[in-house]
Amino acid sequence: MEYVTLGRSGLVVSRLCLGTMTFGREADEAASRAMVDCFVDAGGTFVDTADIYGSGVSEEITGRAIAGRRDEIVLATKVRWAMGPGRNDIGLSRRHIVAACDASLRRLGTDWIDLYQLHMWDGLTPVEETLSALTDLVRAGKVRYIGASNFVGWHLLSAELAAARHGLERLVSLQPQYSLIERRLEYEIGPAAQSLGLGLIPWAPLAQGMLTGKYDRSSGPAAGTRIAEADASAVETWERRDAERNWRIVEAVGAVAEEARRSPSQVAINWLLTRPGVAAPIVGARRVEQLEDNLGAVGWRLSSEQRERLDAVSSPEPVHPYDFIAEGQRSLEAGPS
């Protein structure tokens, strides 16, 4: 395993993060514990969950799985989504954050959360209120660091300015969707995070299984897979993934995997580890065998030629104004003609 500090903080995390969204859902408790054991035995230290996963079940299983070795683990969870029927059981208000943190601590069976993340922006609550509540949790010793997930560039800047203005805790990380297939973060969110010193913890690094090589463009997803069962509102619907560009990426990943004598999953995650600002992609699994394969993404490097091929085939579509800004930057670097 390899290790890195998370963003501008001094917190050291493993370069892969174990995602627990499957715990209590696709993976029962025995399988979930086996995956935690496998991850820790491989040197993994960074574990990510959320209160909403299984309505708290994932946190409960995760807490039991790491009991007895809590000091070895950098434990992350999240707050924002509804955890009850009340109007104050959702969002990033002081009331909900404080109550949700205490509930997560109980379910996790721990006295502190290493990284407490805002699961998505709350357009109703002032960011100063949210950061003030998080700052109080840090000062109370219940939380060590704070981060965000699914924020866009102006959300990140708003949080940074509010923290600087009022002397509040600053974000140290961002958990966005990022993969060879989903690179639109590079338009603005990624650069914004980098400029603020935030470590990226990408979710869906395998694009909901598309980059594992298990899907075929002619047959589609197998029954029972998450992408096959997703409803129309989900990020990972087959209709959204079944695109010519994505199949070109899948084919390129397969070719590189053959050359490197690695699995497609390992190639896709290894490529992500080379991207600017990326600290630790989140690897989730239903079975230990899947996790073991993902763990093989560290400890080696794609060649520069292989990275360039993957960069080229997956390059996000130029869109305004980012293409215009990039051209202006190139003209500055070239100087007067």
Please give the chain's pLDDT, 337 residues, in tens.
Answer: 999 999 999 999 999 999 999 999 999 999 999 999 999 999 999 999 999 999 999 999 999 999 999 999 999 999 999 999 999 999 999 999 999 999 999 999 999 999 999 999 999 999 999 999 999 999 999 999 999 999 999 999 999 999 999 999 999 999 999 999 999 999 999 999 999 999 999 999 999 899 998 887 776 666 666 666 655 556 667 677 778 899 999 999 999 999 999 999 999 999 999 999 999 999 999 999 999 999 999 999 999 999 999 999 999 998 999 989 888 888 888 888 6
Task: Single out the catalytic residue among 53, 145, 178, 187.
Answer: 53
- CA distance to 148, 255, 297, per residue, from 41 (Å): 28, 31, 16
The predicted pLDDT at position 185 comes to: 96
The predicted pLDDT at position 335 comes to: 82
The predicted pLDDT at position 202 comes to: 98
The predicted pLDDT at position 221 comes to: 67
| 53 belongs to the catalytic site | yes
The predicted pLDDT at position 334 comes to: 87
The predicted pLDDT at position 227 comes to: 64
Q: What is this structure's pTM?
A: 0.92
The predicted pLDDT at position 244 comes to: 87
The predicted pLDDT at position 226 comes to: 62
Domains, in order of start, for the chain: 3-312 (3.20.20.100)
